[in-house]
Homo-oligomer: A and B are copies of this chain.
């Protein structure tokens, strides 16, 4: 069975040295944060996820979920482990105290969420989707929802879900057929079928709060295909009495659960809504006098959905590197343990029958790629989560102005690039095991199968790439993009010629230059032909992610260099940071050159064939 050790030293480095969160104790939300609290949370969290959740990961994969007589059962041990996490408050660290959480900064709950996803992604998803539901209710819910339902979700007494996809309709919401009909009492009745609902039903808690998008019929009772008809609803599995107790079953039932490639411990449900009682979120506004019905409030409903989805996209990006973290750990242990062959530069274990395979450059290539990605990805994710806070103190006016824009810009990169590379690196970690990696008992192939979903759900990565180039890069006069590019230029200019940093500065310099050239090329060419943006989008997202991780590595290398220069901290740890940064500079950033050529090749080669030729 594979092992998992939460990377506590990494988290401490990111929090204390990289983001310097202890400098922010005069900032709202950070008042109670000190070094000891951070250590205590990380160490206790680590112990819990290592000891309670990780051992259940293979159990979940072997047993999967079952549906019998309409009841979904999760794998053995999941209910207890879920409830222990809830009781420990691990899911609600950063929820405001008013809602029953600990009121700590998001950046701390990020570390805990990663531990949950590394130790057991399937189990983590039940609570993760509750978070998505409760964020939208905290933001848009009415008093009852905020005061009664949100605290139940925070406490882990109930869970939440997101209901978007239908059999014929994933990305294209206009095709949606699920119907929400307004009632005189202000509620709605929802009828339709939703699929791919993660944690859509289970036996972990007594109630489930489904957040559902559905179409409100027009004045003629018809579903039209405008996005304005799409609204956002709360539909509890069991109705909720005024005192918060559970009432009658609502009109929602589980049609089936999917047999999947991975994340088998999470029940992926087909949910059938049959006149289910639904509550509009936010509550219905009076109809506008003009035509168009409830347009105003439906826009807010879409906003609620996007709020939920953006949080979920950040969460999925994290799942990408959470899987490569645990896969890397096991591959590194194996590479130090497995004796096979001899080093090309002379025996390194002369008294043994053979050398450990860590002596081979190509094994190190796979391991260093995984680790350089994982640590860079974690830095990017946490840096972005902290950007609003750090910008409030930044001396960089652009960072200050543009933190929201940069956050929007990087969200599809976090989801798309981090899950692509997460899968790629998890797969490389499996490869280090040779034939043993293909055998289930080692657990490596489960990481690969579980990791694969991250490239798909919350918008397939091709959709993320199109979102990046179609909606984000050129938005608002490129304010966010220019701010981000300027940050990179500035970071490079402070590193050129500096010992231990110059190599990365040069390499990142070529990377950002390629990225600017690609951006410029798309801006010019997509104006003439919009297919150019679609054709460029995937390579562009890959290039963007490669450069963004380069920025993180340069920043981390600066911290490590400065600590080494002042003989602070663990030298082995800091030298590893510099070595992995150099790996990113020398073995990953060079990709931008080829990606630029491919982008500039344009869309004709893709579009010239007739559809019937495929």
Which residues of B sit under 8 angstroms from A592, Cβ to Cβ?
594
CB distance from A94 to the nearest CB of B (A): 29
Inter-subunit contact B261/A538 (CB<8 Å): no
Q: Hey, what's the 0/1 contact readout for A145-168 against B, CB within 8 Å counting as 1? A: 000000000000000000001001
Which residues of B sit under 8 angstroms from A293, Cβ to Cβ?
none
| Contact of A431 with B448 at beta-carbon distance under 8 Å, contacts A465-B362, A534-B361 already known | no
Q: Hey, what's the 0/1 contact readout for A331-363 against B, CB within 8 Å counting as 1? A: 010011001110011001000011010111111
Inter-subunit contact A583/B597 (CB<8 Å): no
Inter-subunit contact B168/A261 (CB<8 Å): no
Inter-subunit contact A367/B170 (CB<8 Å): no
| Contact of A439 with B260 at beta-carbon distance under 8 Å, contacts A364-B607, A586-B598, A594-B591 already known | yes
- Among A1-48, those with CB < 8 Å from B are none
Interface flag for A582 (CB, 8 Å): yes
Of B261, B339, B365, B367, which contacts A449 at CB under 8 A?
B261
CA distance A196 to B262 in the complex (A): 24
CB distance from A421 to the nearest CB of B (A): 14
Inter-subunit contact B445/A431 (CB<8 Å): no
- Among A571-614, those with CB < 8 Å from B are 572, 575-576, 579, 582-583, 586-587, 590-595, 597-598, 601, 603, 605-614
Closest to A583 in B: B605
Which residues of B sit under 8 angstroms from A608, Cβ to Cβ?
579
Contact segment of A114-122, A123-131, A208-216, A451-459: A451-459
What is the size, in residues, of chain A's interface with B at 8 Å between Cβ atoms? 98
CA distance A456 to B438 in the complex (A): 8
Inter-subunit contact A456/B435 (CB<8 Å): yes
Which residues of B sit under 8 angstroms from A445, Cβ to Cβ?
260-261, 452
Closest to A457 in B: B435
CA distance A576 to B358 in the complex (A): 45
Interface flag for A101 (CB, 8 Å): no
Q: Hey, what's the 0/1 contact readout for A464-483 against B, CB within 8 Å counting as 1? A: 01100000000000000000
| Contact of A613 with B439 at beta-carbon distance under 8 Å, contacts A462-B431, A587-B601, A598-B587 already known | no
By a beta-carbon cutoff of 8 Å, the part of chain A in contact with chain B is: 165, 168-172, 174-175, 195-196, 225, 258-262, 332, 335-336, 339-341, 344-345, 348, 353-354, 356, 358-368, 371, 427, 431, 434-435, 437-441, 445, 448-449, 452-453, 455-457, 460-462, 465-466, 529-531, 533-535, 537-538, 572, 575-576, 579, 582-583, 586-587, 590-595, 597-598, 601, 603, 605-614
